[in-house]
Amino acid sequence: MKATQGNYRIDLMDWNDAAPLAMPLRERVFVGEQGVPPELEMDEFDAVCRHAVARTFDVAGDGAVIATGRLLPDGHIGRMAVDAGWRNRGVGGAVLEALVAEATVRGMPEVVLNAQVHALAFYERHGFDAEGAIFMEAGIEHRAMRRRLRGGW
């Protein structure tokens, strides 16, 4: 699936295609900016996920990777990362909605995620509801969130 948004494009792909595109951005954001240990950033679930990768347009066809996220087979969304120069410009929301659309196509009744506490309002704007207590994951405060999908409970 490809979706075009303004001056970038979002592709949904398997890990073999996504890895060389998504990993440099994820390492920059999670390991470099947020201090997540590298061994926690990549896990065994990447191989079974659908990955959304947002790239800018350029004359050669594919430009810089500006955002990414993944959808696990059980409906969890994770590893949402946006390049610092592209934050607060709608690309994160577009990647999130592309993953929600993929979950809907796959017949999932809901999607869930563990949001960093500073990003709760972002996910709430996209229809997610917070639940449960704040908890620590990779040294960062998180809270579970859920969004029911069309046909969900």
Model confidence at 119, pLDDT cuts 50, 70, 90, reads: very high
Measured at the CA of 118, the angle between CA 113 and CA 124, to 5 degrees, comes to 55
In the predicted structure, residue 153 carries a pLDDT above the cut 60: no
- In this prediction, residues 34-40 reach a mean pLDDT of 89
Q: What is the pLDDT of residue 2?
A: 57
Copy the structure tokens of residue 118.
């500073």
pTM recorded for the entire structure: 0.91
Give pLDDT tens digits for 80-91.
999 999 999 999
Q: What is the pLDDT of residue 113?
A: 98
In the predicted structure, residue 27 carries a pLDDT above the cut 80: yes
Q: What is the pLDDT of residue 3?
A: 58
Q: What is the pLDDT of residue 56?
A: 93
Q: What is the pLDDT of residue 1?
A: 53
In the predicted structure, residue 93 carries a pLDDT above the cut 80: yes
Nearest one of 94, 135, 131 to 112, comparing CA atoms: 131
Q: What is the pLDDT of residue 128?
A: 98
- In this prediction, residues 136-142 reach a mean pLDDT of 92
Question: Which is more confident, 4 or 32?
Answer: 32
Residues 106 and 100: their CA atoms lie apart, in Å, by 10
- In this prediction, residues 47-64 reach a mean pLDDT of 85
Domains of the chain: 2-108 (3.40.630.30)
User: Where in the chain does DSSP place strands (E)?
Assistant: 2-5, 8-13, 50-56, 65-71, 76-82, 110-116, 129-137, 140-148
